[in-house]
Amino acid sequence: MGFQVSRTISLLNSLTNLIVDRFIADRAGRLIYDYAQRGFQVSFPDALIAATTLEHDLTLVTTNAQHFPMLERRVWALFPSQE
């Protein structure tokens, strides 16, 4: 196994996995519905990420902060100058 592959495996093994349970799935569905009513389309994967963030009281760091208006102060842009 190459150096980069072993570093990638080490990184992945250090992460915490969060389960999408019925509460998160329900919250994701409500986010999609609520934002559709406001004229904003939220994708299913983004809704799951947002719902997980909210359910676990986390902060999301992403390159697509504009996809997560529902997170308000819980989202940080990884590259803010590109937003």
List pLDDT tens digits, range 32-54.
Answer: 999 999 999 999 999 999 999 99
How far is it, in rounded angstroms, from Cα 20 to Cα 60? 16
How far is it, in rounded angstroms, from Cα 48 to Cα 45? 5
Whether pLDDT at 83 is above 60 = no
9 burial via Cβ count (<10 Å: 0-12, 13-18, 19+): exposed
pLDDT value at residue 4: 85
